[in-house]
Amino acid sequence: MTHAQAASRVEVLRRELNRHNYLYYVLDRPEISDAEYDRLMRELEGLEQQFPDLVTADSPTQRVGAAPLEAFGTVTHTIPMLSLKNAMNEEEARAFDQRSRKSLGIAEDIEYVAEPKLDGLAVELVYENGLFVKGSTRGDGYTGEDITQNLRTIRSIPLCLVQKDLLPLPDYLEVRGEVILPLDDFARLNGEREVSGEPLFANPRNAAAGSLRQLDPRITARRPLDIFCYGVGAVRGWDFRDQWDMLHTLPDWGLKVNPLIQRCRDIDEAIAYYREIGGKRDGLAYEIDGVVLKVNSFRLQAELGEISRSPQWAIACKFPPRQETTKLLDIIVQVGRTGALTPVAVLQPVRVSGVEVSRATLHNPGEVARKDVRIGDTVVVQRAGDVIPEVVMPVVAKRSGAERVFAMPGNCPACGAEVDGSEDIWRCTAGISCPAQRKEAIRHFAMRTAMDIDGLGEKIVEQLVEKGLVKDPADLYDLTVEDILTLERMAEKSATNLKNAIDKSRNSTLPRFLFALGIRQVGEHTAKLLAEHFGGIGKIEEATEEELMAVREVGPEVARSIHSFFRQEKNLHVVRRLEAAVRLEAIAPKGEGIFSGLTFVFTGTLPTLSRDEAKRLVETRGGRAASSVSKKTSYVVAGEEAGSKLDDAQRLGVMVIDEARFMEMVGEGAQ
């Protein structure tokens, strides 16, 4: 291919990829499969590699191009990013309407635009001649942090604006919006952090903020952040008629606007909207904490102006928080798999938005001190979405004087070993010899997503450890049926079943095995990346920190943790014994297996394969096994009593096959 031919092909590919990106991430209406998208992307990557001078900053290949930063720069906002005054109920919203009319000196109704108040992080995006050139946080409203390279990783932020019907674009555009992390992604992220021993995010907003503050954009890229745009700053070369017109023009340029926005003729309609959205709140995929009412006309907005850093033409009507008060009966300390000591509040049971709460995390000792929560306090408890409940604060006015200040124990409550309190998270120093850590390590090893040992539940692990039958995961493979029979209420049949399940887990894969070892900071995802990169456990054991950091998404902290794990004699000893006990199937390097680019969903009972075996067959061949059907699913493999997933597949036009056809594909390669 000549340079000129490549240049025009690159142009076509970019336009196509940008269009499909927009269809998928902004409109949620994809037209092609993941595999087709990947093919276009690979072709573009290939051409850009061959002709490096054709690479441009707005190329879809360049979303995660930048190297980690030392620190963020600062950005001064051309027009300050103000904050909203709150109305706590309908009455206060009506008072806002009255105030506005009075100050405008008008008797007629004011038209409002009503929008959900998204609970995320406010950002500003700058487009020059249609190109995304800078993005920043709100900061103190006047100056924020330059987070351009992190914002570039968010798929719903276009790197270049779309020119609808070939109409000209504004020369200069500052767009404002809220970056959010959807609730299910938030739950998944916290789940991963829990298994890899990292501190949990308290709510999706903190998780979104934490993700945007990463100095390494590769980490941000892994967080499925999204954006909804709701306003503009400085604009040159374009005039919007009013707020409603602006919110309808931004999507024409490829920018995402929340679909729940509504134009309201007067305050009554706006209040009806507030009620309606309040009713929908629990069913939304992301957190909102109210609705925002904005005077639609820009002329009236300008007339109303602003007072003390808040616009007089807009108000946030907040929803009642999902909070309750209850008694804090005690604070106990739990020991996790990595030895982390977590203070947990034991509460008088209370219902918070429909769910009974009797325990709530206090995160870490610093948090207890900062909030000054004492045993015996009346406390405010909250749940944000589906999030683990947390103690917000004590109700100081309700103190009787009998409350007790909590102190962290100097010794591990499970084994009595010394505690290391030199960092935010306190840890038991005994390592695997601490029975609490031992139990957690064994439970982790047996987890469904790790070695998948069926029937090795909490109670059994507890007894195995307490009886001294199992000290580390490798001991599991030496257990005999007779050993198992010594456990309480254990019959011959269940003992044999457990023994069989343990033996079955001897056949596994490298990513599962790596994850099962419970190395701090190594979750399922990192384990997969490590396995794909190194291909064998021996190479990972020997790798230096630098070599580990060469793995995609592995930063210095993770590298240090892996390196130090394999430098500890007691860990190596366990790994050696495990290596002798298990047989690990080789996995196809990413993108090379016969199923690469394909996503499978399994539903119903398959005649011969278990879910995990099926999943393994897909993953070892470079494919992905997902739990729910979407337009991106390549095949649904249906067994007996397949339920709603089969309906979903039929509705979405996804190909449905049976186990026999699936096994043929496994044998022959996917067509």
Q: Which residues are catalytic?
A: 117
Sign of CA dihedral 599, 604, 608, 613: positive
- Distance separating alpha carbons of residues 159 and 154, to the nearest angstrom: 10
Nearest 5°: the CA angle 498, 433, 540 is: 80
Q: Which is nearer to ligand IVH, 76 or 568 (CB)?
A: 76
Mark residues 530-569: x for contact with ligand IVH by CB under 6 A, - for none: ----------------------------------------
Q: Residues 160 to 179: which contact ligand IVH by CB under 6 A? A: 178
Question: Based on the number of CB atoms within 10 Å of its own CB, is 641 exposed (0-12), middle (13-18) or buried (19 or more)?
Answer: exposed
Examine residue 115 and tell whether it contacts ligand IVH (CB under 6 A).
Answer: yes
Amino acid letter for position 121: L
CB of 486 to ligand IVH, least distance (A): 60
CB of 176 to ligand IVH, least distance (A): 7
Q: Which stretch binds ligand IVH (CB under 6 A): 25-33, 114-122, 486-494, 608-616?
A: 114-122
Contacts 24+ apart (CB under 8 A), 94-100: 94/267, 94/271, 96/293, 96/315, 97/266, 97/267, 97/270, 99/312, 100/295, 100/304, 100/312, 100/313
Query: Are the CB atoms for 228 and 258 separated by under 8 Å?
Result: yes
Crossing angle, helix 183-195 and helix 524-534, to 10 degrees? 70
CB of 627 to ligand IVH, least distance (A): 31
Q: Which is nearer to ligand IVH, 122 or 529 (CB)?
A: 122
Distant-in-sequence, close-in-space partners of 570: CB < 8 Å, separation ≥ 6:
431, 432
- Distance separating alpha carbons of residues 413 and 429, to the nearest angstrom: 12
Q: Which is nearer to ligand IVH, 47 or 292 (CB)?
A: 292
CB atoms within 10 A of CB 633: 22
Q: Which stretch binds ligand IVH (CB under 6 A): 81-89, 265-273, 574-582, 616-624?
A: 81-89
For ligand IVH, how many residues bind (rule: CB under 6 A)? 15
Examine residue 181 and tell whether it contacts ligand IVH (CB under 6 A).
Answer: no
- Distance separating alpha carbons of residues 394 and 375, to the nearest angstrom: 10
CB of 119 to ligand IVH, least distance (A): 7
- Distance separating alpha carbons of residues 653 and 549, to the nearest angstrom: 42
- Read off the tokens for 388: 């683990």
Q: Which stretch binds ligand IVH (CB under 6 A): 72-80, 117-125, 236-244, 429-437?
A: 117-125
Examine residue 84 and tell whether it contacts ligand IVH (CB under 6 A).
Answer: yes
CB of 96 to ligand IVH, least distance (A): 14
- Distance separating alpha carbons of residues 56 and 75, to the nearest angstrom: 24
Examine residue 311 and tell whether it contacts ligand IVH (CB under 6 A).
Answer: yes
CB of 145 to ligand IVH, least distance (A): 15
Examine residue 318 and tell whether it contacts ligand IVH (CB under 6 A).
Answer: no
Amino acid letter for position 58: D
Q: Which stretch binds ligand IVH (CB under 6 A): 194-202, 309-317, 470-478, 500-508?
A: 309-317
Q: Which is nearer to ligand IVH, 288 or 373 (CB)?
A: 288
- Distance separating alpha carbons of residues 362 and 569, to the nearest angstrom: 34
Three-state SS at 509: strand
Q: Single out the residue of 20, 63, 77, 138 in contact with ligand IVH (rule: CB under 6 A).
A: 138
DSSP letter string, 545-606: HHHHHTSTT--HHHHHHHHHHTT-HHHHHHHHHHHHH-EEEP-PPTT-STTTT-EEEEESB-
Q: Which is nearer to ligand IVH, 84 or 469 (CB)?
A: 84
CB of 72 to ligand IVH, least distance (A): 18
Q: Which stretch binds ligand IVH (CB under 6 A): 100-108, 116-124, 562-570, 630-638?
A: 116-124
Q: Single out the residue of 47, 160, 292, 335 in contact with ligand IVH (rule: CB under 6 A).
A: 292
Q: Is 641 left (phi over 0), alpha (psi -120 to 50) or beta?
A: left
Amino acid letter for position 22: Y
CB of 138 to ligand IVH, least distance (A): 5
Q: Which is nearer to ligand IVH, 88 or 369 (CB)?
A: 88
Distant-in-sequence, close-in-space partners of 202: CB < 8 Å, separation ≥ 6:
363, 384, 387, 390
Q: Which is nearer to ligand IVH, 250 or 456 (CB)?
A: 250
Q: Single out the residue of 66, 82, 162, 393 in contact with ligand IVH (rule: CB under 6 A).
A: 82
- Tokens 């000549």 correspond to 2
Q: Which is nearer to ligand IVH, 88 or 572 (CB)?
A: 88
Examine residue 122 and tell whether it contacts ligand IVH (CB under 6 A).
Answer: yes
CB of 81 to ligand IVH, least distance (A): 6
CB of 602 to ligand IVH, least distance (A): 39
Q: Which is nearer to ligand IVH, 120 or 130 (CB)?
A: 120
Q: Which is nearer to ligand IVH, 281 or 560 (CB)?
A: 281
Crossing angle, helix 204-212 and helix 183-195, to 10 degrees? 70
Examine residue 642 and tell whether it contacts ligand IVH (CB under 6 A).
Answer: no
Q: Single out the residue of 158, 217, 231, 518 in contact with ligand IVH (rule: CB under 6 A).
A: 231
Amino acid letter for position 434: C
Residue nearest to ligand IVH (CB): 122
Examine residue 226 and tell whether it contacts ligand IVH (CB under 6 A).
Answer: no
Examine residue 244 and tell whether it contacts ligand IVH (CB under 6 A).
Answer: no
Structure letter (DSSP) for residue 418: B
CB of 217 to ligand IVH, least distance (A): 22
Q: Single out the residue of 114, 118, 180, 618 in contact with ligand IVH (rule: CB under 6 A).
A: 118
Examine residue 117 and tell whether it contacts ligand IVH (CB under 6 A).
Answer: yes
Q: Which is nearer to ligand IVH, 289 or 648 (CB)?
A: 289
Q: Which is nearer to ligand IVH, 122 or 582 (CB)?
A: 122
612: nearest Cα among 531, 508, 474: 508
Q: Is 28 left (phi over 0), alpha (psi -120 to 50) or beta?
A: left
Query: Are the CB atoms for 470 and 501 separated by under 8 Å?
Result: no
Q: Single out the residue of 5, 74, 83, 411 in contact with ligand IVH (rule: CB under 6 A).
A: 83
- Distance separating alpha carbons of residues 158 and 96, to the nearest angstrom: 36
CB of 83 to ligand IVH, least distance (A): 4
Examine residue 507 and tell whether it contacts ligand IVH (CB under 6 A).
Answer: no
For the CA atoms of the chain, what is the radius of gyration?
28
Q: Single out the residue of 201, 230, 274, 565 in contact with ligand IVH (rule: CB under 6 A).
A: 230
* Residues binding ligand IVH (CB under 6 A): 82-84, 115, 117-118, 122, 138, 178, 230-231, 292, 311, 314, 316
